Homo-oligomer: A and B are copies of this chain.
Amino acid sequence: MKTTKTAKKIKTPDVNAHAKKVTLEMVASACGVSPSTVSRILNGTAIVSPKKREAVDRAIAALGFIPNPVARGLAGGRTLSIGVVTQAIDSPFYGVALRGIEEELGTAGYSPLFVSGHWNADEEKRCIDVLLSRRVDGLIILTGRLSDEALQRVSKATPVVVTGRNLSAPGLHSLNFNNFKGAQLATHHLLALGHRRIAFITGDPGHPDAIERMRGYRTALKAAGIPFNNALVLPGNYLEESGQMAAERLIDSREQFSAIFAANDQMAFGAALALHRRGITVPDDISLVGFDDQAGATHCIPPLTTIHQGAYELGRIAAISLLQMLAGEKPTTVMQEPRLVIRGSTRSLLTP
């Protein structure tokens, strides 16, 4: 348990060692220029003679000066902090996105401020107000329920990147995953394996992506010339329990089916459990496909065939976009296309 690695540091060179706050004024006087000049160099606000610039840079390095974000914020400059509105900080899906955001922002010197909106427009609004009062330089909003108008209003004053929408405005960039195509892919996969009676567990109808996934399912079915059967569509709300209940209801309905496509992995897990409890084996008896490819999908039993959505990449891309906006550029980022990941929960009916 020896923390050798930390102890190893005996001879702290200089930088660290609980530096007593170096201020901008100190570096200014240290090299005989005015604070304004130092500030200008720091922010690239104006051009200063190479001579002084160099002197100041040197002084900054020598003194180990770090601008105080709080003071900057008050003075109306940047705070180097970004507000991130997620829906639940412990969401298995968004959690990974947060990591992506944190990473990308971190390397750019920004700190994220995470808040949870809990899928509630009012709460979301409040979160945003708090973030704004903390003078964040920008906002990343992961989906959420806020109205598009409210979002656009916010974006007038602060750059915003939002996922799960198709909006566009001067200070607003939106990133949308192709849920439709993803659902098509999933359904098509089952069809290709010879399944004809494919049940679908829907997501929360309050989420636009749930609707898109449903549409993808129907479209793929149609393309294969299979009539839509409403009895095979079960309502869900993206949580495990709802997947479990849906599967139970499906079994009890005595409707024939050889496969289930759940609108997200969590419901797929729930469905798998329900099937298991009824003595139905995945994939031998029933094939199962999820959506999202969240962490657990790799290690569940059987490993889940699903649509990979790359939450991590989503987070990174959102962060990069915002950084670009902050730099005055137009975001050039694009979302990954959905990708089918075949694991062990689906089986072909064609080659028995």
Contact = CB atoms under 8 A, between A and B. Distances in A.
B99 A90 contact: yes
A111 B111 contact: no
A299 B269 contact: yes
A114 interface: yes
A108 interface: no
A70 B66 contact: no
A298 B98 CA distance: 24
A334 to B, nearest CB: 23
Contacts of A254: none
Contact of A121 (B3, B206, B303): B3
A11 interface: no
Contacts of A98: 89-90
Contacts of A299: 240, 244, 266, 269-270, 273
A31 B83 CA distance: 34
A267 to B, nearest CB: 10
Contacts of A244: 299
A230 interface: no
Contact of A295 (B70, B92, B122, B211): B92
A208 interface: yes
Contact of A133 (B5, B16, B68, B266): B68
A166 to B, nearest CB: 13
A126 to B, nearest CB: 9
Contacts of A96: 90
Interface stretch (A53-61, A71-79, A316-324): A71-79
A231 interface: no
B240 A147 contact: no
A115 interface: yes
Interface in A21-74: 66, 68-71, 73-74
A48 to B, nearest CB: 25
Contacts of A99: 88-90, 116
A222 interface: no
A114 B106 CA distance: 12
Interface string A241-260: 00010000000000000000
Contacts of A95: 89-92, 95
Contacts of A90: 92, 95-96, 98-99, 295
B92 A92 contact: yes
Contacts of A215: none
B73 A70 contact: yes
Contact of A18 (B16, B122, B135, B153): B153
A308 interface: no
A130 interface: yes
A300 interface: yes
A56 to B, nearest CB: 20
B89 A133 contact: no
A110 to B, nearest CB: 10
Report the 8 A-B pairs with minimum CB-CB distance, sorted nearest first.
A90-B95, A70-B73, A240-B299, A90-B99, A6-B121, A269-B299, A90-B96, A74-B74
Given A66-B133, A68-B74, 5 more contacts: A89-B102, A90-B99, A90-B295, A111-B113, A273-B303
